[in-house]
Amino acid sequence: MALSSERLFDSLGHFGRFQACVYFASVFQAISCGIHYLASVFMAVTPNFVCGFPGNVSSVLFHNSSASSIEDIWTVWTSTENYIVAQLENGEIWELDQCSRSKREVSLDLAYEYKGNKSVFPCSDGFLYDDTKWKSTVVTQWDLVCDREWLAKLIQPTFMLGVLIGAVIFGDIADRLGRQRVIWFTSAGQFVFGIAVAFTFDYYSFVIVRFLLAMVSSGYLVVAFVYVTEFVGIKARTWASMHVHAFFALGIMVVALVGFLVRTWWVYQIFLSIATLPFVLCCWMLPETPFWLLSEERYEDAQKVIDTMARWNKVSTPCKVSELCSVQQDDLASGRTGDDDTSSTKKHNILDLFCNWQIARRTITVWLIWFTGSLGYYVFSLSSVSLGGNEYLNLFLIGAVELPCYIIACVAMDKLGRRNTLIPFLILSALICVLIMFIPQDFNILIILANMAGKFSIGVAFGLIYLYTAELYPTIVRSLAVGSGSMMCRVGSVVAPFCVYLRSVWIFMPLLLVGIMALLSGMLTILLPETLGKPLTNTLEEATEMGRNKKSSSKKTPPAHSGSEKTPPALEKIEMFGQEREPLLWLYILEMASPKVAVVGAGVIGLSTALCVAETCPSCSVTVLSDQFSPNTTSDVAAGMLIPHTYPGTPIHRQKQWFKETFTYLFAISNSAEASEAGIHLVSGWQVFKSTPKEELPFWSDIVLGFRAMSEAELLKFPQHRFGQAFTTLKCDCPPYLLWLEKRLKATGTQTYTRKVADLWELHSEYDVVVNCTGMGAQQLVGDKQLLPVRGQVLKVHAPWVKQFIRDGDGLTYIYPGIHRVTLGGTREKGSWSLCPDAGTTRDIFDRCCSLEPSLQGAQDIEVKVGLRPSRQCVRVQREVLSQGGVKLPVVHNYGHGAGGFSVHRGTAIEAAYLVGECISALQGSSSRAKL
């Protein structure tokens, strides 16, 4: 998914009418997942039972109660420890236990107590079940009691195993075949397998069909999660995706309701399966996501979906796919294999989560929380029916209590902090587990309320652990950390049913285990650092340091960078931009392997693209290869002023987005303590025209600060000009900015090598994806004939009294004051490759600038620089796949920025980084499953 695709929501709305319909339709079916996950709580109930007897019964006795049939005894039956005495019509008297029966040798009169001899027999005539509550369950249907009891106990764990496998398989299929097809298949599958379960003829077919049902149910949940996140814009995405789980909880409530109304297991199963039939009938109408269509290069289909979205959302001018992303696909199959030994990128693996004591301790704690969250969730849900009182109401309430969980989690984690929310809720759930043990068994209401409170607190903790895990780990292993955490969560869900069965050892055993785990996790969480308001870390060293600074950051609402020199407030904003987009990439780049990305070129475009890839692709191993680094690139020559140059072949809204992202990014730096090191500062001034310009308002006028027409008084300074615009913009002092970018890159673990790349194909054996940021070098490297040099000569002078920028409206003459030196320009010589300064041009530039600012006559220390602007009709930010002999190499191009590279570098870098994400996603074919 390209960043440009994300812009779709800026034009169509983040959660308009269309998205609302698609969202509620898809999450409606999530109810079905909740239903099938929890259906076994009633379907596999083991009612009271005793051994069957041979023959017809004439009277039955249980202590002092007698009856003519065994059905009448169940109402007084109190304990499984006791037996029932039955007299048969032939006079025999039998004592019926649960798993055996004995015939009294002497059967003179029917008494409950008997001291004489007995012959013990196995239950060869089957069992008699209490059918007062349930007419039939799978346990009574296939006699899953006594020596077959273990088969009943395997029903829920085998289902959970199906859940685990289904999530992995369907996550993968959804990437290959599309979300829509998997949504159809899994929802139809839930219906078909759900009904089929009701018609299974023996235990084994029942378990197999339920296993398939589990696979499609979890498959649906995983893909529906991706589906809704791809249709909902970033502004509504966190809430929308979190509340998918609330519909799962509704499913639990439906189970309670249907269980109450229908008491024959197979009828109950049929009713549950048809609960979401309306969705199955109309799910074929759901469209494929534009993101998936774009990733498959099905542009026409994507455009149709976008048009439909626009119609529904009442947007009159829907954006065009061709404007959103680069659609040209040049089938370049060129290049010879080259070899070089520069492949020293570092691959990260699970051991990095244990690289030092701080991080290892963090990993153990985080895994424990994931495991405990899942264990607690299912233990409270599954055991709610055994709490006494009305089991249907209990389950209903246990589902209902989940609904506010996610709202509380969303609000509390932003107000109190992640750690400060997690600790009290984990410890609270542990305390509640203990409290339940002390509540007398006949205080049903109290027990139920306490269980609800337990499920609520574990639910809140469970709800926020995803985000907290992601924030605790540095970019380079973030994906690994979240992926491994979610695996621990699934292990917890498989273990949970076994834990519930421990009730037979001691009724409070499951709660004791959950309580111990929750207490342990809560205590260990105290040692974790708070992450609210902290920038994401990039390296393991930074992440380790974050743990050490825990004390200073543990205040209730911590200041963004309490006491840390490395992370000034403004940089937090910078990180937040990356963070805002990151969840999307996490959905798309989830494999635990470290994809190797080579960025060729070390000008402003190469370095900023490498930084964006490293920041937004946590598992990528990034390397910068370039024949020249600062101070020997074109970027070092540039004036570095943020005034966009217009590219005729690139849609204006795309250029505007690039400029806006770049301006916002540099503005944050200019407000931080890093401003002077990065060479970024705000500068005000004038753009003056000899005649009124065609367009009074340039497209970027609302992005720079305080854009306005110049006053008459201001124009007096420029007697040859009749019109002018005043505004404040940013200026980069280029060499310091490039060094600052290099420094930040190193902090992410990115490697840099001096190497001339003769052919991109030579990198195919060392790297998974190559990013071409070679500026003018691309003309030779990829044979781009559209790329032409536009020679520019500038003077860098010492004139500290010049504080205001002045730019002639034609862009040829300009005076741009930097932090230390003033840049005077310039020239635009199309097609000239000469890098030699021209003395005549130097004089001309100086004279032109002096006529705009006469005080420059006193400028000293004049230095002349020449650079070749890599000019093109449109900037090439585009994906391409090179192939030779069946071997493919995905390439992302990011070059051709001409006279405006600095003005749009961050915007194009972000877009290129997302294209890299798409390439990796296509290579691994696995997006979302590890997260879900």
Quick one: 50 or 602, whose CB is closer to ligand FAD?
602
105-134 residues in contact with ligand FAD (CB under 6 A) are none
Nearer to ligand FAD, 634 or 687 (CB): 634
Q: State the minimum distance, in angstroms, from the CB of residue 753 to ligand FAD.
A: 10
If you count them, how many residues does the chain have?
932
Stretch that binds ligand FAD, among 128-136, 175-183, 891-899, 910-918 (CB under 6 A): 891-899
Closest CA to 500 of 152, 27, 824, 259: 152
Q: Does 515 bind ligand FAD (CB under 6 A)?
A: no
C-beta of 183 vs 641, nearer to ligand FAD:
641
Residue 745 contacts ligand FAD per CB under 6 A = no
Please select the residue that binds ligand FAD; options are 34, 376, 601, 679, rule is CB under 6 A.
601
Residue of 899, 913, 919, 922 interacting with ligand FAD (CB under 6 A): 899
Backbone phi and psi for residue 121, each to the nearest 5 degrees, phi listed first = -130, 150
- Residue 84 CA to residue 74 CA, distance in Å, equals 10
Q: Confirm or reject binding of residue 813 to ligand FAD (CB under 6 A).
A: no
Per CB under 6 A, the segment of 384-392, 548-556, 646-654, 771-779 that binds ligand FAD is 771-779
Kindly state whether residue 867 participates in binding ligand FAD, applying the rule CB under 6 A: yes
* Sole binder of ligand FAD in the list 551, 756, 803, 830 (CB under 6 A): 756
By CB under 6 A, which span of 47-55, 628-636, 739-747, 836-844 interacts with ligand FAD?
628-636
Q: Is 685 in the site for ligand FAD (CB under 6 A)?
A: no
Stretch that binds ligand FAD, among 227-235, 398-406, 600-608, 912-920 (CB under 6 A): 600-608
| Residue matched to tokens 């600038």 | 849
817 binding ligand FAD? (CB under 6 A): no
**Beta carbon nearer to ligand FAD, 823 or 921:** 823
C-beta of 428 vs 666, nearer to ligand FAD: 666
Residue 96, both tokens:
């019926």
- Based on the shown chain and the rule CB under 6 A, indicate whether residue 623 belongs to the binding site for ligand FAD: no
Q: What are phi and psi of 655, to 5 degrees?
A: -60, -40
Binding residues for ligand FAD, total number by CB under 6 A: 41
Out of 634, 751, 878, 908, name the contact with ligand FAD by CB under 6 A. 634
> Which H or E element spans position 689?
strand 680-689
Considering beta carbons, is residue 812 or 887 the nearer one to ligand FAD? 812
Residue 777 touching ligand FAD (CB under 6 A)? yes
∠ at Cα 925 (242, 31), nearest 5°? 30
- Please, what is the minimum distance in Å from the beta carbon of residue 656 to ligand FAD? 15
Six-digit token pair at 506?
């001691």
- Shortest distance (Å) from residue 815 CB to ligand FAD: 12
Minimal distance in Å, beta carbon 254 to ligand FAD? 58
CA distance 754 to 606: 13
**Residue 122, phi then psi, degrees to nearest 5:** -75, 170
Q: Are 440 and 507 in contact (CB under 8 A)?
A: no
Residue span binding ligand FAD (CB under 6 A) among the ranges 93-101, 441-449, 455-463, 629-637: 629-637
Beta bridge partners of 240: none
Tokens 């034009």, located at residue: 11
Residue closer to ligand FAD (CB basis): 561 or 897: 897
Question: H-helix or E-strand containing 895?
Answer: strand 887-895
Q: Which residue in 384, 390, 357 sits closest to 453, CA to CA?
A: 384
DSSP-assigned states of every residue in 705-739? EEEEEPPHHHHTT-TT-SEEEEEEEEEE-HHHHHH
Rounded CA separation 271/255 (Å)? 10
Residue of 219, 259, 603, 818 that binds ligand FAD (CB under 6 A): 603
Question: Is residue 7 a contact point for ligand FAD (CB under 6 A)?
Answer: no
The 640-679 site mask, x for binding ligand FAD (CB under 6 A), equals: xx--------------------------------------
Which CB, 637 or 919, lies closer to ligand FAD?
A: 637
821: contact with ligand FAD by CB under 6 A: no
Q: Give the max Cα distance, the chain.
A: 133
What are 682's strand-pairing partners? Answer: 730
User: Measuring CA to CA, which residue among 370, 184, 215, 359 is closest to residue 283?
Assistant: 184
What's the order of all strands across the beta sheet hosting 887-895? 751-754, 621-626, 596-600, 769-772, 887-895, 876-884
Instruction: Find out whether 672 and 568 touch, Cβ atoms under 8 Å.
Output: yes
900 is a contact residue toward ligand FAD (CB under 6 A)? yes
Distance CA(104)–CA(783), nearest Å, equals: 100
- Torsion angle, CA of 82/85/86/92, rounded to 10 degrees? 130
57 binds ligand FAD (CB under 6 A): no
Interaction site with ligand FAD (CB under 6 A): 600-606, 625-628, 633-635, 637-641, 756-757, 773-777, 781, 792, 794, 826, 867, 869-870, 895, 897-903
